[in-house]
Structure 1
Amino acid sequence: MIYLDNAATSLLKPPEVAKAMTTAMRTMASPGRGGHEPAAKAADTAFRCREELSEFFRAPGPEHVAFTMNATHAVNIAIATLVKPGDRVVISGYEHNAVTRPLHMLGAETDAAVSPLFEPEAAIEAFRKRLPGAKCCVCTHVSNVFGFILPVEEIAAMCREYGVSFVLDASQSAGVLNVDMEALGAEFVAMPGHKGLLGPQGTGVLLCRDRARPIMAGGTGSESRNQAMPETLPDALEAGTHNIPGIAGLLAGLRYVKRRGLESIDAHERKLKGLMCRKLAGISGLEVFSSPTAQSGVLSVRSGKLGSEEIAAALGARGVAVRAGLHCAPLAHQSAGTLEGGTVRFSFSPFNNAAEIDRAAAELVRILKMSS
């Protein structure tokens, strides 16, 4: 099978990820729940992972790195901390439901800075008009549908200018593009551990500047006499037993990314995307959403002949795994004019190769020709 659904989750991972997880399951217990060696090994692994994540993403320190179940969990904490019912929150026109649904649930006034696809300057102007007087801004770094890289450095700078708290959703950029929390001045940066960082499912990270509001409570192994959750980070956000095998796998994935280098990973994925675009160029009735600039290794297409779900099913039957539909991001499709029917998404990883792209493109061409 050719796996091209990496924007959902990475499937192929460095071998050391599974090895680290197996070692953790065999030798590590629960950090902070005992003074014995298995607990100490778990605590050391968790701390080393926090330390390296903090350094890599330029967070204030290891204690400002909270482990979560996924990026959605992390975004929910950030929004619950900063937003109250009725607050006006500015978002991009390319947000995932992981952002829009928590805002809706809290009763926030969502103000979308809608702008044309692959036009960073237009996005900047859309945010400039909406940021004054807003309580908060939540922005994705990269569209999970189209690979559009939002101008988050400029948006964050405007947030600082207008005194608006900034939250970055780095779901599609962490482990692929540079994410610098200090330079952005972000209050929070949310990310999954299982996508670009190549860790296992069930891992996520929230980088916190200051205090954060817990959205669940329970044991932390600290301040046990107090019925209130600890106020100090990261304990305030980490009730219950940690996913130590997941954290060990995340640490191994992060170290692979650091060894290979962000520039190398990004260049590889862009190269594969460019190859796919060239293979699909000029096909009658196929719209390819791409741009020479402001894009990462995510590509969406749609056909005037077949629905996106039909195409994805046909590709799947031929051994090519992609995703079709709205990709949990109806706002992005609305912004790009693809809400009716959605798109077929190809998303690439450090472990895909040119031969796989050749075959995937050839299979898509065959499917479209058969429908003529």
Structure 2
Amino acid sequence: MIYLDSAATSLQKPPAVARACSYAISHYASPGRGGHKPAMDAAAAAFACREAAARLFQVPKPEQVVFTNNATHGLNIAIKALVRPGGTVVISGYEHNAVTRPLHAIPDVTVRVAAGQLFRPEETVEAFRKALTPEVTAAVFTHVSNVFGMILPIQELARLCRERGVPFILDASQSAGCLPVHLEELGAAFIAMPGHKGLYGPQGTGLLLCGQTPPPLLEGGTGSESIRQEMPDFLPDRLEAGTHNIAGVAGLLEGLRFVEKQGVQSIGSHERALTVQMGEALAQLPGVEVFRSKDPSQQAGVLSFRVSGMDCEELGEALGRRDIALRSGLHCAPLAHRTAGTLETGTVRASVSAFNVPQEIPRFVRELRQILSEKP
């Protein structure tokens, strides 16, 4: 199988990830829930994971790294901390439902979409400049579009938010592990990311990097200050009610170590090279429309395309039967499709990871060409 769906979940992982998960299941208890060796070893692994994330993402203190179930969990915490009923929030035109649905659920919130055309970052900056008026209480923007791989100009957007005094949330779901993501440099209130994509950890893991201490989304046991009925007022305990997914955390630690060893820049360059190779090859096929940037530095390892006269879902299934694994449809991001003009059709999305190799691209293209030749 050629796996081209890492924007959903990276399938190929460093072998150390599975070993760490297996070891944790057999040897670790719950961190913070006992002074015996299994609990203490679990606590050490959890803290080592926070330390690794703090190094990679320039977080001042490991305690500011909070474990979540996924990026959606972290985004819900962050959004509900900053956005109050009746407030006004600015988002980009490329946000995932993990951003738009929590905002929709808050009563009487005004959501301003600061949209620019696909692969025109200067338009996004200008749209944010106009939208960030005094009544805006928060901003949320993705780093990389999960549909098109477009890299948003987050440095400029962060600067605008700082200048206007607007706290902002960064969704790093498609950038963590392949692009620099630095909490302190950006001045973000929160950065949310999954563990199971570019960090090569298991599903059911995620990180929320906290530039401030928000109210908890959940209440419950933390192993600390148990006499109190209020949640602790310090991180990470304030946001980590209940038993940790310590096997997942142990696996995520090995994923972070892999990314740190390989280097974020190296992984990103590798993925962009594959995306350029794939885009050039797909563009040669008749009837194929490829959504790609003329400037490779503006696109990460995600590439969408569609074929004239073919349903995207049917095409994705046909490729799947030929052992080409990718994703078709709206990719949980109808706003991005509305902005790009692809809402009615959706797209077929191919996305790569550090484990894909150039030799896989020609076979993928050959299989697609064969499907197109059989089209009635």
Instruction: Compute the TM-score of the two structures, normalised by the length of structure 1.
Output: 0.99
Give the structure 1 partner of residue 127 of structure 2: 126
Give the structure 2 partner of residue 4 of structure 1: 4
Report 1:298-317 matches (<5 A): 298-317=302-321
Amino acid at match of 2:27: T
Amino acid at match of 2:24: A
Give the structure 2 partner of residue 45 of structure 1: 45
* Match status 1:87 vs 2:55: no
* Match status 1:70 vs 2:35: no
The answer to whether the 8 Å contact 1:70/1:203 transfers is: yes
RMSD, aligned α-carbons: 0.8
Give the structure 2 partner of residue 110 of structure 1: 111
* Match status 1:224 vs 2:226: yes
Shift of 1:271: 1.2
Shift of 1:361: 1.1
Give distance in 1, aligned partners of 2:68 and 2:60.
Answer: 18
Shift of 1:60: 2.4
* Match status 1:319 vs 2:320: no
Report 1:223-262 matches (<5 A): 223-262=225-264
Give distance in 2, aligned partners of 1:212 and 1:52.
Answer: 23
Deviates more, 1:68-77 or 1:131-140: 131-140
The answer to whether the 8 Å contact 1:146/1:299 transfers is: yes
* Match status 1:344 vs 2:373: no
1:222-246: CA deviation from partner (whole Å, max 9, x where unpaired): 1111111111110010000001110
Deviates more, 1:276-285 or 1:27-36: 276-285
Give distance in 2, aligned partners of 1:179 and 1:211.
Answer: 20
Shift of 1:282: 2.9
SS of residue matched to 2:209: strand
Give distance in 2, aligned partners of 1:292 and 1:6.
Answer: 23
Report 1:27-42 matches (<5 A): 27-42=27-42
* Match status 1:97 vs 2:97: yes
The answer to whether the 8 Å contact 1:167/1:187 transfers is: yes
- Count of matched residue pairs: 372
Give distance in 1, aligned partners of 2:294 and 2:67.
Answer: 36
Specify every segment of 5 or more residues in structure 2 that has no aligned partner in the other structure, as ranges. Answer: none
Sequence identity percentage? 59
The answer to whether the 8 Å contact 1:120/1:151 transfers is: yes
Give the structure 1 partner of residue 186 of structure 2: 184
The answer to whether the 8 Å contact 1:143/1:149 transfers is: yes
Give distance in 1, aligned partners of 2:260 and 2:219.
Answer: 34
Shift of 1:176: 0.5
Give the structure 2 partner of residue 22 of structure 1: 22
SS of residue matched to 2:359: helix
Give distance in 2, aligned partners of 1:190 and 1:280.
Answer: 33
Shift of 1:82: 0.7
Give distance in 1, aligned partners of 2:101 and 2:290.
Answer: 29
Specify every segment of 5 or more residues in structure 1 that has no aligned partner in the other structure, as ranges. Answer: none
Corresponding residue to 1:195 among 197, 201, 222: 197
Give distance in 1, aligned partners of 2:102 and 2:160.
Answer: 24
Amino acid at match of 1:135: T
1:316-342: CA deviation from partner (whole Å, max 9, x where unpaired): 000001100000000000000000020
1:192-234: CA deviation from partner (whole Å, max 9, x where unpaired): 0110000000000001112111111110001111111111110
Give distance in 1, aligned partners of 2:142 and 2:45.
Answer: 29
SS of residue matched to 1:354: coil
* Match status 1:296 vs 2:300: yes
Deviates more, 1:173-182 or 1:107-116: 107-116
1:136-182: CA deviation from partner (whole Å, max 9, x where unpaired): 00000000000000000100000000010011000000001000111
Give distance in 1, aligned partners of 2:112 and 2:60.
Answer: 30
The answer to whether the 8 Å contact 1:266/1:296 transfers is: yes
Corresponding residue to 1:161 among 160, 163, 176: 163
1:76-133: CA deviation from partner (whole Å, max 9, x where unpaired): 0001111111111100000000000000001221110011000011110010000122
Shift of 1:298: 0.2
The answer to whether the 8 Å contact 1:305/1:368 transfers is: no
Amino acid at match of 2:113: A
SS of residue matched to 1:116: coil
Amino acid at match of 2:361: I
1:221-278: CA deviation from partner (whole Å, max 9, x where unpaired): 0111111111111001000000111001000000001111111111111111111112
Give distance in 2, aligned partners of 1:10 and 1:282.
Answer: 28
Give distance in 2, aligned partners of 1:56 and 1:322.
Answer: 29
Runs of 4+ in 1 over 4 A off after TM superposition: none
Deviates more, 1:261-270 or 1:36-45: 261-270
Corresponding residue to 2:371 among 350, 367, 370: 367
Give distance in 2, aligned partners of 1:322 and 1:31.
Answer: 37
The answer to whether the 8 Å contact 1:55/1:61 transfers is: no
Shift of 1:284: 2.1
Give distance in 2, aligned partners of 1:300 and 1:202.
Answer: 26
